Amino acid sequence: MVRLSEEIRMKDSTYILVVDDEQGVLDSFSEVFSNEGYQVTKAKNWSEARRHIKTQQYNIIIADVKLPDVGCQEMIDDIKEENKYAYIITSAGFTDIDTAMKSLQHGAHDYMSKPFDPSDIVTTMRKIVDKQRLQADNLQLFDTIKVLALALDARDHYTHGHSRQVTEYAVDIAREMGLSFKEIDIIRDAGILHDIGKIGITDAILLKPGRLTEEEYAEIKKHPVIGKKILEPVNCLADKIPLIYHHHERIDGQGYPEGLKGDDIPLGARILSVADAYQAMTSDRPYRKALPALIAIEELKRFKGRQFDPNIVDAFLRVLKRMGMDKTADNSSESPAA
């Protein structure tokens, strides 16, 4: 996370890094942005730019997509690792505009074509600066919420690491199903936060070393609703909330909180449901020991089409097969996850 002193400095000034192997482009950008009062740094190649992003947090980074010493994907990954709150804009000449457009799939926020009109770029940059500040504030709040979610896991040794493991399974499933970079990113964030609503459930229920009563189970079923209420004020979480809110729905409509059926349940929520159930079954809980992986796999198969989306179960089984968990076993227990 960005140091507090760094955050304060970023709010006082706008720091822009321009990366381009054409000196004329660097000078033009620098002149226009400096006249607007922005703090501008220039770099003629990615090696030079990387030194800057390791020592300074930038609000906005404008980088040519055809730098000779780095690929577009690697460049964007480097930026996100070192300057996670930066607004990334790729630039390109007319012949490379398709590459710039594809950079959005790699995680860039926007692209611009060269040559640029100075008056247009000033107006555009003012809007981007406002957008970046709002985005950074939201992401910092999101980071705080993720810390709370992981702390919720850690307060009970039975669920310690649950959200991280569910997230790993869900991302593996999403990749196996060929989902896009953006869809996988949403699933990853929702996985970490899927049980955040349990912060509103008492420990007496969450840590009870035995079966829950109907009244206690009714309280547990409130956690998706509580989670939704906690997260709704955070704008950047809008696309994650449906996954968190609906991850306990069932394909047959017997789930909660709304009893949605089949494809009415968001795809990401259906993926989280499978990952969540498998992790719960294969982990120790206060009221039972962990089930062996082979039995948990059979439970996923047995509840295909009832609790779980069959296509998602099949995708997860392919993932587990690569992990060496492809044998079968018999089991006749009830529904594997509440």
- Is 148 within a domain? no
**Residue 144 covered by a domain:** no
Range 213-217, long-range pairs (CB < 8 A, 24+ positions): 217/338
- The answer to whether residues 304 and 162 belong to one domain is yes
Quote the domain boundaries for residue 204.
157-322
**Residue ranges, the chain, pLDDT below 50:** 1-11, 328-334
Residue 230 lies in a domain: yes
Is residue 315, in this structure, part of any structural domain at all? yes
| Co-location of 22 and 161 in the same domain | no
Burial of 282 by CB count in 10 Å (0-12 exposed, 13-18 middle, 19+ buried)?
middle
**Cα 164 to Cα 261: distance, rounded to the nearest angstrom:** 27
171 and 39, same structural domain?
Answer: no
Query: What is the model's pLDDT at position 68?
Result: 85
Q: Check whether residue 173 and residue 238 sit in a common domain.
A: yes
Write out the two tokens for 70. Answer: 């780095």
Whether pTM exceeds 0.85: no
From CA 6, how far away is CA 337, in angstroms rounded? 44
pLDDT of residue 7: 44
Confirm whether 334 is domain-assigned: no
pLDDT value, residue 2: 44
Residue 182's pLDDT is 85
Residues 209 and 256 in one domain: yes
Q: Are residues 188 and 66 in the same domain?
A: no
Cβ proximity of 133 and 11 under 8 Å: yes
In this structure, is residue 110 part of a structural domain? yes
| Residue 88 host element (H or E) | strand 87-92
Same domain, 73 and 108: yes
Domain count, the chain: 2
- Please list, in sequence order, all residues whose beta carbon lies within 8 angstroms of the beta carbon of residue 310, skipping any fewer than 6 positions away: 304
Residue 14 and residue 63 in one domain: yes
